[in-house]
Amino acid sequence: MTKKTGWITTAIVAPIVVGVIVDRLKIIDFSTVFTNSYSWFKSFLTGDFGFSLPVWGWILVIVAISGTYYFTRSIYKKVKGNDPYESYKSDNILGINWSWDYYLQEVMENSILPLCPKCAFELQPYRASAFNAVNHVGFRCHKCGWQHEFQATHNDVIHTVIKSIEHNIRTEYKKAS
Between the alpha carbon of residue 61 and those of residues 44, 55, 71, 89, the distances in Å are 15, 10, 15, 44
Question: Could you give the CA distance from residue 68 to residue 122 in angstroms, rounded to a whole number?
Answer: 46
Sheet holding 113-115, edge to edge: 90-93, 96-99, 113-115
**Is 157:150 a contact under the CB 8 Å cutoff?**
yes
Handedness of CA 23, 29, 34, 37 (dihedral sign): negative
Q: State pTM to two decimals.
A: 0.52
SS3 state at 113: strand
Question: 153: closest CA among 172, 130, 125?
Answer: 125
Q: pLDDT of the chain along its 177 residues, tens only?
A: 445 555 555 666 767 777 777 666 666 666 676 676 677 667 766 766 666 667 777 788 888 888 888 777 776 665 555 566 778 889 999 999 999 988 777 888 888 999 999 999 999 998 877 776 668 899 999 999 999 999 888 899 999 999 999 898 888 766 555
